[in-house]
Amino acid sequence: MKEAGQMQNLESARAERSVSTQTGSMTGQIPRLSKVNLFTLLSLWMELFPAVEAQRKNSQVKKTGLVVVKNTKIVGLHCSSDDLHAGKIALIKHGSRLKNCDLYFSRKPCSACLKMIVNAGVNRISYWPADPEISLLTEASSSEDAKLDAKAVERLKSNSRAHVCVLLQPLVCYMVQFVEETSYKCDFIQKIAKTLPDANIDFYSECKQERIKEYEMLFLVSNEEMHKQILMTIGLENLCENPYFSNLRQNMKDLILLLATVASSVPIFKHYGFYCGNTEQIDEIHNQSLPQEIARHCMVQARLLAYRTEDHKTGVGAVIWAEGKSRNCDGTGAMYFIGCGYNAFPVGSEYADFPHMDDKQKDREIRKFRYIVHAEQNALTFRCQEIKPEERSMIFVTKCPCDECVPLIKGAGIKQIYAGDVDVGKKKADISYMRFGELEGVSKFIWQLNPSGTCALEQNDPKSKGSNGVLRPIPLDEEQHQKKKLCLENH
């Protein structure tokens, strides 16, 4: 019954959307993620940044993701490392620039982190209301410390100027359905469906189910009574009563479902990944490419950003990272965040200030193309770090960069582009994608089946890690290569 109802809702959402696209009416905009939910999702996702080191086992301290926001713009994406909690990393990386920032944690921070970030003058600290950084779910022997820490956190919270709170907003109507629909139709899944027509397309649903289970284990407390206990210990007793408790759990579940859906849209599937299409360039530049799991992680960030688009039809997200010369204290290893963005009308404009039509509209004056700022353009404009020519910087875009953006990316000194190649070589009425294919001097890693098989990323092998903790590809010899081909055919 519920499913039928959902389908009906989806149909009416689609119908409404297509009417609004044709008429330009203000109703029926596509569902959009709120900023708060985007930051929260990114913080959870950052907790899952692929480990560049042996992960702590049985530690009382859980890994934590963190998003630092200044004036509604993201200025930091971090995750805890073996040595340092996320809050400490924020302090090292941003120092007094933390003043007036909003911080989104994937777990309630411990007292050691909280005292420092409160002292730095942050504006707001929001955290995911499940098991805190100092776990309350670990064995009894350590829970005494966890409880003492929770008390200290409460005291710091009530005596600080910063607003320490849980910020989760309910998703707008049809958001989950919209994310499901667009994730399934996105370039990455469709590329697999097209190039491997025999592949069981159910791999996507299977992958999603696995992700949901995995993230529920990590980010939800399955037992309701236990969850209430935790909430009470971390000072959220007012959320333990209904309807607040059931609403909170529903919001948490919806966000986890959304994260799992988006994460499965860039799947770990056979020999698909981001590869350089030009086989002549492979030997020369492949060694410089990122490990697949990190590239995939960053692309999912870009996919999440795309759900903040202001374009009725096509959401695009972009995120820029760079790899420093050596590993830093962050759980992201040598990688550090530079900037991110999504396609939207100029900052501060109202909905009706600019036209929203696509190129199906005959009247060219009321088309969106001359007004909308592209995801890459926003990522470059609002970057919080400089792009250093001596370092490897990379942009992850959910769509092939267009002719407006390609020279900007190259001119900014970005060394690598990770993208899909839908639309490459196309000249549409108001936007074209001719330059990407011809672009030289910037390495392009396109989502595809490994074209050569001559390099593979043996990601679990510690020997494949470089001195900076970043994984390196290992070349395969001819025999291994043949085996790879065989196992590909067997799948």
Ligand X SMILES: O=c1ccn([C@H]2C[C@H](O)[C@@H](COP(=O)(O)OP(=O)(O)OP(=O)(O)O)O2)c(=O)[nH]1
Q: Point out the residues that are catalytic.
A: 376
The identity of residue 343, as a single letter, is: N
Helix 244-264 and helix 175-184, axial crossing angle in degrees, nearest 10: 10
Could you tell me which stretch among 48-56, 162-170, 284-292, 306-314 binds ligand X (CB under 6 A)?
Answer: 306-314
What residues contact 488, with CB distance under 8 A and at least 6 apart? 270, 271, 453
Q: How far is the CB of 113 from ligand X (least distance, A)?
A: 36
22 part of the interface to ligand X, by CB under 6 A: no
Cα(221)–Cα(164) distance, rounded to whole angstroms?
A: 21
Under the binding rule (CB under 6 A), the answer on residue 187 touching ligand X is no
Shorter beta-carbon distance to ligand X: residue 196 or 424 = 424
Q: Which is nearer to ligand X, 182 or 343 (CB)?
A: 343
Q: Which residues contact 274 (CB under 8 A, 6 or more apart)?
A: 289, 290, 292, 295, 296, 299, 418, 445, 446, 447
Check binding of 311 to ligand X (CB under 6 A). Answer: yes
When the beta carbons of 363 and 477 are compared against ligand X, the nearer one is 363
- In terms of CB distance, is 383 or 399 closer to ligand X? 399
Least CB distance from residue 317 to ligand X, whole Å?
A: 8
Rounded to an integer, what distance in angstroms lies between the CA atom of residue 434 and that of residue 437?
6
Between residues 187 and 330, which has the closer beta carbon with respect to ligand X?
187
To ligand X, the closest distance from the beta carbon of 307 in angstroms equals 13
Q: Which residues, other chains included, contact 476 with Cβ-Cβ below 8 Å and sequence gap of 6+?
A: 453, 454, 455, 456, 484
Q: Which two tokens stand for residue 197?
A: 């027509």
Neighbours of 366 (CB within 10 A): 12
Beta-carbon neighbour count of residue 450 at 10 Å?
18
DSSP state of 113: H
CA dihedral 268, 269, 271, 277 (to 10 degrees): -70
Out of 78, 108, 374, 392, the only residue in the binding site for ligand X (CB under 6 A) is 374
Q: Is 359 in the site for ligand X (CB under 6 A)?
A: yes
- CB-nearer residue toward ligand X: 432 or 452: 432
Q: Quick check: 351 binds ligand X (CB under 6 A)?
A: no
φ, ψ of residue 297 in degrees (nearest 5): -60, -45
Contacting ligand X (CB under 6 A), which of 43, 301, 343, 361?
343
Q: Of residues 394-423, which lie at the interface with ligand X (CB under 6 A)? A: 399, 401-402, 405
For residues 455 and 476, is the Cβ–Cβ distance under 8 A? yes
**Cβ-based nearer residue to ligand X, 76 or 420:** 420
Interaction between residue 37 and ligand X (CB under 6 A): no
Q: Which residues contact 174 (CB under 8 A, 6 or more apart)?
A: 9, 10, 13, 31
Q: How many residues bind ligand X (CB under 6 A)?
A: 17
CB of 369 to ligand X, least distance (A): 7
Q: Which stretch binds ligand X (CB under 6 A): 47-55, 57-65, 283-291, 313-321?
A: 313-321
CB of 488 to ligand X, least distance (A): 31
- Nearer CB in complex with ligand X: 334/372: 372
Query: With binding defined as CB under 6 A, does residue 149 bind ligand X?
Result: no
The CA distance from 32 to 42, in Å, is: 15
Compose the 429-448 pattern: x for residues touching ligand X by CB under 6 A, - for all others: --x-----------------
Q: What are phi and psi of 135, to 5 degrees?
A: -60, 135
Smallest gap from Cβ 445 to ligand X, in A, equals 16
* Shortest distance (Å) from residue 386 CB to ligand X: 22
Closest approach of ligand X to the CB of residue 208, in Å: 25
**What secondary structure letter does DSSP report for 50?**
P
The H-or-E segment that residue 90 falls in is: helix 86-94
Assess contact for 415 and 435: CB atoms under 8 A: no
Q: What is the largest distance, in Å, between two alpha-carbon atoms of the chain?
A: 71
Q: Which of 20, 314, 452, 459 binds ligand X (CB under 6 A)?
A: 314
**Residue showing tokens 């989502």:** 447
In 316-389, where do the E strands start and end? 317-323, 335-342
Q: Which of 303, 317, 314, 400 is nearest to 358 (CA)?
A: 314
Query: Which residue, 378 or 450, has its beta carbon nearer to ligand X?
Result: 378
CA distances from 233 to 135, 137, 331 (A): 11, 12, 28
Which residue among 124, 270, 313, 465 contacts ligand X (CB under 6 A)? 313
Asked whether position 355 contacts ligand X by CB under 6 A, the answer is: no
Stretch that binds ligand X, among 5-13, 118-126, 211-219, 369-377 (CB under 6 A): 369-377
Binding segment (CB under 6 A) for ligand X, from list 163-171, 227-235, 347-355, 370-378: 370-378
Name the minimum Å distance from CB 434 to ligand X: 12
Interacting residue with ligand X among 13, 101, 316, 380 (CB under 6 A): 316
Which segment (172-180, 210-218, 292-300, 312-320) binds ligand X by CB under 6 A? 312-320
Name the region of 89 (left: φ>0; alpha: ψ -120 to 50; beta: rest): alpha
Residues that bind ligand X (CB under 6 A): 311, 313-314, 316, 343, 358-359, 372, 374-376, 399, 401-402, 405, 428, 431
